[in-house]
């Protein structure tokens, strides 16, 4: 299990990246929203989408969920 966060700031691609706690590319605390504690990135990305974000997994820490 790991804590996941979504970057509230969109990337140039228009995506809001989902990160696992400890990622080197984790956004600053004021730029992220806690999504929850999950066993993989898939439910974390789904939760971010449910909250209205154009979510995609971070290439580095959530590569299995990175689609673009």
Summarize pLDDT for 13-29 with one digit per residue, the tens: 999 999 999 999 999 99
pLDDT at 2 over 90: yes
The span from the CA of 43 to the CA of 14, in Å, is: 20
| Position 68 pLDDT exceeds 80 | no
What pLDDT is recorded for position 12?
93
State the pTM of this model.
0.95
What local confidence, expressed as pLDDT, does residue 59 receive?
96
| Burial label, 43 (beta-carbon count in 10 A; 0-12, 13-18, 19+) | middle
């Amino acid at each position: 299990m790991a804590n996941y966060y979504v970057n509230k700031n969109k990337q140039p691609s228009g995506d809001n990246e989902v990160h696992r706690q400890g990622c080197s590319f984790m956004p600053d605390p004021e730029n992220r929203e806690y999504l929850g504690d999950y066993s993989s990135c898939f439910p974390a990305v789904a939760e971010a989408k449910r909250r209205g974000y154009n979510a995609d997994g971070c290439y580095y820490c959530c590569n299995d969920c990175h689609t673009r």
